């Protein structure tokens, strides 16, 4: 089954709205050679600017979190409805930084996936092991648990509307990219797990991205692996010249 390659930038806590505008002025002028889908997940404060700057292009815009309730006394949070109202259509959920610093759990990720889908927002659901877990041989058990708990109560039909990002924590922001084979091994495992949770057809239709120090140099090798359908790119997505090379890899 042909899956359209997806290259998503995760800006994390970077760029003001004015900086986002300047970024898209440069990026929009750069020729895109590959037929990849391109998405930027930006800070909430840059959403409206980013949506406006990419209107009429094929670039998608998203956030990096939502709350799982519709509204109410949740100081500092943003709902799926509010996100949707900006024109954004994507959201990164369960990023390891949110799990580590903001008490995100598989249970809250599960609720957020459901809420995003309810509003027609495409979730990019992150999973990945720490170095400690990898060195102690529990990578696969850990990823299986994150997936199975994250997707509790989500139908095959809805699961197909999601994207999964495999981001080994030891490779995030460290410059220590997983080898093509290491990344492929876990992405293939994720697909096999999805087949066990749902069915082969569902597993084959869900896009699985790799994230963790993806650069213009490492992108082509990673993206050529059979179960890697693109990338979730942090640092290199902040620089238009670097990111376009990854998109075109
Ligand atoms: P880096 O590409 O900066 O390692 O970040 C990866 C990431 O966390 C994307 O979500």
Q: What is the pTM of this model?
A: 0.98
Cα–Cα dist 37/96, whole Å: 24
Clarify whether 167 is annotated catalytic. yes
pLDDT at 1: 62
For residue 167, how far is its CA from the centre of ligand 1 (angstroms)?
Answer: 8
Residues of the chain with pLDDT under 50: none
**122 - beta bridge partners?**
90
Tell me which CATH code domain 6-248 carries: 3.20.20.70
The atom of ligand 1 lying closest to the CA of 237 is 2
The per-residue pLDDT for range 66-77, each reduced to its tens digit, is 999 999 999 999
User: Buried (b) or exposed (e) across 107-137, using 16+ Cβ within 10 A?
Assistant: ebbbbbbbbbbebebbbbbbbbbbeebbeee
Residues with CB under 6 A from ligand 1: 10, 95, 167, 172-173, 211-214, 232-236
pLDDT at 192: 98
Clarify whether 95 is annotated catalytic. yes
Give, for ligand 1, the residue of 8, 11, 12 to mutate: max count of ligand atoms closer than 8 Å to Cβ: 12
Give, for ligand 1, the residue of 214, 215, 219, 237 to mutate: max count of ligand atoms closer than 8 Å to Cβ: 214
Selecting among 97, 129, 167, 193, the annotated active-site residue is 167
The atom of ligand 1 lying closest to the CA of 173 is 4
In whole angstroms, what separates CA 199 from the centre of its chain?
22
Selecting among 67, 95, 104, 193, the annotated active-site residue is 95
């Amino acid at each position: 089954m042909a899956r359209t390659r997806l290259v998503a930038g995760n800006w994390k806590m970077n760029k003001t709205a004015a900086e986002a505008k300047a970024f898209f002025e440069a990026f929009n002028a750069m020729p895109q050679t590959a037929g990849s889908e391109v998405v930027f997940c930006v800070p909430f404060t840059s959403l409206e600017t980013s949506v406006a700057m990419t209107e009429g292009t094929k670039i998608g815009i998203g956030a990096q979190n939502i709350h799982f309730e519709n509204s109410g006394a949740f100081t500092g949070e943003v709902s799926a409805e509010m996100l949707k109202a900006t024109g954004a259509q994507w959201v990164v959920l369960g990023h390891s930084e949110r799990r580590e610093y903001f008490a995100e759990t598989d249970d809250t990720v599960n609720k957020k996936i459901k809420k995003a889908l309810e509003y027609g927002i495409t979730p990019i659901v992150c999973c990945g092991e720490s170095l400690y877990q990898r060195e102690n041989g529990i990578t696969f058990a850990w990823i299986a648990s994150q997936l199975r708990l994250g997707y509790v109560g989500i139908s095959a039909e809805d699961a197909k509307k999601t994207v999964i990002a495999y981001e080994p924590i030891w490779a995030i922001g460290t410059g220590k990219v997983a080898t093509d084979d290491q990344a492929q091994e876990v992405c293939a495992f994720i697909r096999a797990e999805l087949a066990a949770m749902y069915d082969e057809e569902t597993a084959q239709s869900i896009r699985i991205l790799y994230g963790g120090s993806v650069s213009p140099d490492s992108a082509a090798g990673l993206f050529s692996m059979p179960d890697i359908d693109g990338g979730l790119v942090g640092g290199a997505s902040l620089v238009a010249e670097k990111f376009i090379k990854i998109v075109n890899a």
